[in-house]
Structure 1
Amino acid sequence: MKGGGNKKCLAYVAIFIVFQIIVITIFALTVLKIKGPKVRFQTVTASNFNSGSPSSPSFSADLVTKFAVKNTNFGHFKYPNSTVSILYDGQVIGSTDVPSQKAKARSTRRTDITISISSDKLTGTTNLTSAINAGVVNLTSESTLKGKVEIMKIIKKNKSGKMSCTMSLNLSTKAVENLMCK
């Protein structure tokens, strides 16, 4: 009878160990799987808009944006100052700083940012004249946020999120249209 009790105890210990391995594996695959944040423009509007004439093609505006950092991790993502750039035809026509902040665990941090853009910053030959004559100027935006994800004040990992958005600046309505971020 004594041997049967030992076998039962060993069976319980084995079941407990298997259960703990399953719990630890699920924990490691979900909570400890650290990803980079998703960085996007949620909205973009134009203010202080000015455009030149077809004989003197130019434009300038202030782009008022809602910059979003979506943190899908179970720990917070802290990032230092970064830069957002607006480009036309591959050339930077405006940039601004994104202040250092912290995106809490499993949440989205939204920041209002204003970026002044001007075609005066363009160098070399571009197709700006044809874009202004068509009434639509296609813009892109780029940014990289490098920061650190901290889980339970123990695990710290460097991660980064990249933003690449396209948008169209409609010269007749003075509005930003077709905002698409990846």
Structure 2
Amino acid sequence: MKGDGKRSNSKCLAYVAAFIVFQTIIILVFALTVMRIKSPKVRFGTVAVESLSSSTSNSSSFDMRLMAQVAIKNTNFGHFKYESSNATIFYGDMAVGEAVIPEGRTKARKTQRFIVPVDISSHRLSGNTNLTNDIGSGFLVLSSQAKLSGKVHLMKVIKKKKSGEMSCTMTVNLAQRAIQDLKCK
């Protein structure tokens, strides 16, 4: 009879050990999938030319207003709250325009899309011979860069700083007043 008590105690310890191993596996799987926090992806979804004027007389110049759809893809299991930021548009290595990305929040495992206006002007590019050639050809190659900084909030307890970066190139067809070859990394 004394042996039965030891056997039930060892059975109980085996069950407790099995339960602890099972809980450890569950926590490990949870930590490796749900708790892994990634940086959000920021991209231009579409870009439309709202207004455009270009000139090659005297000195080459262009002025345009683009309506750019910004897409913020949050793949985390918590929402991403980000600060206001700027997207800068470049012709070559010179900044020609800027768009303001307002602060906001992207829900967990969702993509948020919104439109921002971008005013672009070549007044800083005086004497650029490539600009005259590009306007003459009817195609302008522009690039854009932005960095969106914020925090990913998991279960209202864990907050981790993350930032998403955008780098896009696009070609403006001056004759058709349209954007071609929009590529983002």
CA shift, 1:167, in A, is 0.3
Residue among 148, 165, 175 paired with 1:172: 175
CA distance in structure 1 between the aligned counterparts of 2:8 and 2:95, rounded to whole angstroms: 77
Q: Distance in 2 between matches of 1:132 and 1:146?
A: 36
Task: Give 1:55 shift.
Answer: 5.3
Range with greater deviation from structure 2 (171-180 or 7-16): 7-16
How far 1:123 moved relative to its partner?
A: 4.8
Task: Please tell me the residue identity of whatever aligns with 1:90.
Answer: D
What TM-score comes out, normalization by structure 2 length?
0.93
Task: Spell out, residue by residue over 1:32-85, the C-alpha distance to the aligned partner (whole angstroms, 9 max, x if none).
Answer: 111111000000010111111365322111110110111111111111110011
Aligned residues: 182
> What letter corresponds to residue 23 of structure 1 in structure 2?
I
Query: Residue 130 of structure 2 is aligned with which of 123, 127, 140?
Result: 127
Match for residue 39 of structure 2?
36
**Identity across aligned pairs (percent)?**
50
Q: 1:8 aligns with which of 4, 8, 11?
A: 11
Deviates more, 1:143-152 or 1:120-129: 120-129
- Residues 62 and 114, structure 1, Cα contact 8 Å, conserved in 2: yes
User: Tell me, which stretches of 5 or more residues in structure 1 are unaligned?
Assistant: none
Moved over 4 A (4+): none
State the Cα RMSD in Å: 1.3
Q: Hey, what's the Cα distance between the residues in 1 that align with 2:42 and 2:71? A: 6
Q: Which runs of 5+ in 2 are unaligned?
A: none
Give the 3-state SS of the residue equivalent to 1:127 in structure 2. Answer: helix
TM-score by length of 1: 0.95
Counterpart pick for 1:163 among 166, 170, 185: 166
Contact 1:88 1:138 in 2 (8 A): yes
Deviations 1:93-123 (A, max 9, x none): 0102111100111111111101010111325
- Structure-1 residue corresponding to 2:87: 84
Aligned partner (choices 52, 61, 65) of residue 64 of structure 2: 61
| Shift, 1:8, TM fit | 1.6
2:155 equivalent in structure 1: 152
2:175 is equivalent to residue 143 of structure 1: no
Task: Work out the CA distance in 1 between the residues paired with 2:129 and 2:29.
Answer: 54
Letter in 2 for 1:179: L
